[in-house]
Amino acid sequence: MSHPTTTPAPTPTTTPASPSVTTPDGTPTVEELQAQERRLVLRRFSYEDAWILGSLLVGLARERRAPVAIDIHRAGQQLFHAALPGSSPDNDAWIARKRRVVERYGESSYLVGSRFRAKGTTFEASSRLDPDTYAAHGGSFPIAVEGAGVIGAVTVSGLPQLQDHRLVVEALEEFQAGR
């Protein structure tokens, strides 16, 4: 039996990277971020896949004239890097700090930061990790492979943290759909 509702159904978003949001300020919840990670597990990830994913990210960033740097690491090896107009060496430093969070926690840098914020604190105040080495800001997402777990990270830096995160998620969704 269906119950009438006075609230209209949410309007679908225009990009797959924009999760349905339930927070008043438009940020995804911890549960929504966890669901993204469960959904974006790949069957495999090769050197060629890194090139394809990285090139996809470059294409999306160029379309938006996004001043970002893009990095893909697997098992400690950099497989892809691009710096687009408007990016700077600072973006590479942010990439390294965000990627270390993924490597340490096995979750996206945005999810890790969101967990701390959900507890009413910050990563910097509560993690006991050096903020010059680790940054739980959006933009680094685990590359997880079925049967292997997290094997690397894809990272974007140059936009506000939620936009960095969403750009990576959008590219991973397109990449996964093409496989």
Q: What is the pLDDT of residues 27-37, one digit of tens each?
A: 899 999 999 99
Which pLDDT does position 166 carry in this prediction? Answer: 97
Which pLDDT does position 16 carry in this prediction? Answer: 38
Q: pLDDT per residue over 122-176, tens digit each?
A: 999 999 999 999 999 999 999 999 999 999 999 999 999 999 999 999 999 999 9
Which pLDDT does position 175 carry in this prediction? Answer: 97
Q: What are phi and psi of 81, to 5 degrees?
A: -155, 135
Q: Which two tokens stand for residue 76?
A: 């400690």
56 secondary structure, DSSP code: H
Which pLDDT does position 2 carry in this prediction? Answer: 37
Spatial CA neighbour of 131 closest among 116, 141, 151: 116
pTM: 0.85
Q: pLDDT per residue over 42-90, tens digit each?
A: 999 999 999 999 999 999 999 999 999 999 999 999 999 999 999 999 9
CA distance 162 to 35: 16
CA distance 134 to 84: 23
